[in-house]
Amino acid sequence: MKIQKNISLKPFNTFGIDVNASNYCDIRSNDELISCLDSIPEKEIVILGGGSNMLLTKDIDALVIHLNLKSITVEEENDDSVIVKALAGENWHEFVLWCLDNDFGGVENLSLIPGNIGTAPIQNIGAYGVELKDVFVSCEALEIETKQIKTFTASDCQFGYRDSIFKNSHKGKYIIISVNIKLSKKNHTLHLDYGAIKDQLKESGILSPTIKDVSEAVIAIRQNKLPDPKKIGNSGSFFKNPVISVELFKALQNNFDDVPHYKISESEIKVPAGWLIEKAGFKGKRFNNYGVHKNQALVLVNYGGAKGEDIYKLALLIKSTVKRLFNIDIEPEVNVI
């Protein structure tokens, strides 16, 4: 374990923003993590996982800890199910592929989500009708202040839509080092309700899909709509989909009878931020070397060499325009640092 000085973080964030960290440490074990934390205790720290949910707007005068803890092991199993433990530095999609190779079901709808295992619980990653919380058993996290490892069950994590305790009261206090996930070994429950999945399977002529077929359908849908971060820098959905009151929704529907929506409760409706941003005229807009993706208005992109602060200014412009036009507040899903 060695602390390096003035390291560019460009290779480590999917937006591809070129900022420097004053101190950087690549971590391969829990012991390394603890001695790294001990070595410069007075410094602020930033934890870097897959770098897929952050927008870096300035150089970081702190210790950036790059968590590279890796291994996937079966912890418990019976005839029907298995509990798998994956360490924080495993790439999420590689983990999904490992599950599919073993015919373990539950995470196929979450195929191709960028990022690492360790960040999945922080924002309760989700796509196509499934969220991490549906398969999550527990996670281990190191408390930064005491250096003690604690176990959090699903209820401890207080999961919500792209939300958990690690984004709220425990923000900045814990480093997730492993996650236990429960998967089915047979009679897999398929989640096909998300319209696009059914259409995609139909298009491929698949009548009784396997979990691998579902994964391939999700991959095809994502590749169609979402830019590949290896080619165009991005961080997936930049904003969360806002939840609004029924009254506000009715006012919106009076003007736009085609507004897509999902009922959350008797009094609340979720509307897609991508739709609002498209209606506000930003879809596909390019400003110099950054902009809004042409196929999905929720995704902000770096065409190469963009500054994080410019992308952030664009995000603020989008937010204020949506507020002015629709009286709806949209909040970033990514961490702006």
Residue ranges binding ligand EPU (CB under 6 A) = 127-128, 225, 236-237, 240-241, 260, 272, 274-275, 278, 283, 296-298, 333
Closest CA to 264 of 296, 242, 248: 242
For every residue of 106-135, DSSP letters joined together read: S-GGGTT--SBGGGTTTTT-EETTEEGGGT
3-state secondary structure of 67: strand
SS3 content of the chain, % helix, strand, coil (to 5): 30, 30, 40
**Which tokens is 233 given?**
């820098």
For ligand EPU, the closer CB: 23 or 296: 296
Minimum CB separation from ligand EPU for residue 277, in Å?
A: 6
Minimum CB separation from ligand EPU for residue 131, in Å?
A: 9
Minimum CB separation from ligand EPU for residue 23, in Å?
A: 29
For ligand EPU, the closer CB: 196 or 248: 196
Residue type, 278: E
Which of 162, 178, 222, 235 is flagged as catalytic? 162
Minimum CB separation from ligand EPU for residue 259, in Å?
A: 9
- The angle at the Cα of 181, spanning 179 to 184, to the nearest 5 degrees, equals 165
237 catalytic? Reply is: yes
3-state secondary structure of 60: strand
**Which tokens is 60 given?**
């970081």
Minimum CB separation from ligand EPU for residue 26, in Å?
A: 26
For ligand EPU, the closer CB: 283 or 307: 283
What's the chain's length in residues? 337
Which of 164, 215, 235, 237 is flagged as catalytic? 237
Residue 204 to residues 178, 188, 219: CA-CA distances in angstroms?
A: 36, 21, 13
Minimum CB separation from ligand EPU for residue 305, in Å?
A: 23
For ligand EPU, the closer CB: 33 or 297: 297
333 catalytic? Reply is: yes
For ligand EPU, the closer CB: 121 or 272: 272
Torsion, Cα 305 311 313 317, to 10 degrees, reads 130
Which residues does residue 83 pair with via DSSP β-bridges, in sequence order? 76, 182
For ligand EPU, the closer CB: 133 or 240: 240
Q: What is the distance between the alpha carbons of residues 264 and 267, in angstroms, rounded to a whole number? A: 8
The catalytic site residues sit at 162, 237, 333
